[in-house]
Structure 1
Amino acid sequence: MFFTTLTCSPWQVIRLYRDHATSEQFHSELKTDLNLKRLPSGKFAANDLVLCAGLVAYNLLRAIGQISLQEPDAPVLTKVNRRRVKTVIENLIWLVSRMVEHARQTKLRFDRHSLWFPTFRRIYMSLSG
């Protein structure tokens, strides 16, 4: 039995409660995966700036994760509906590369045996226009 002061139907309350759990999951990802458990300063303005930068990074990583699900080129074992931010960072942001200078040009060279490079290339091309 549940008690609430909400004026909507019981089914609406249950749906809102489920959405609350999803919100808690995203909040947990923001804190743990982006390491924003403890804000660095005693100054409110500095912490506000760090949190805003963290939210921008979180939203970009979530967008990259959703784009990575649009094609079946990612080397995953099971089909998923969304990727955790930690997984996006580990698979697509920490992609092995090295900086090469040749003919007065600087380029990034990626490992040709990387399983995640085709996905990275597709996401980069879709975001760069």
Structure 2
Amino acid sequence: MNTDNLNSRAEKKAQEALSLPFFQGFNLLYAKNTLADMLNHIGRNGLFSEYTKHDISHVDGMLKLLNFIIVQEANDIMTPSDWMMIVLGVYFHDLGMIITDDEYEHRMNDDDFVKYLNGLEISQLM
């Protein structure tokens, strides 16, 4: 786990956005370190045990994949703000997997969740 600095090309380019007025005061390294702590909660209660590990190493792997996903032509015209938005998207994409035991135990009391289940064919298995 590498949260002591921002090593990926995408993070280095995103870091340039911190000189812009609307990112003033934002700390990308602090966000990554906080994210690493948050992601450590995914799966701690046995939920999502069938998934691959979704810790900061997963985020770092996705950031490296951006080197292959973003073609040179796009890379050449992307602004630091573009890079910041992509990096933040990669950082935060799995936060919805953090669920407390209480949320899980009371999920059937959530009308939106029940409506979602009713729309699934597998809901009859529950």
TM-score by length of 2: 0.35
By percentage of residues, which structure has more strand? 1
By percentage of residues, which structure has more helix? 2
From the CA coordinates, give the structure whose radius of gyration is larger: 1
TM-score by length of 1: 0.34
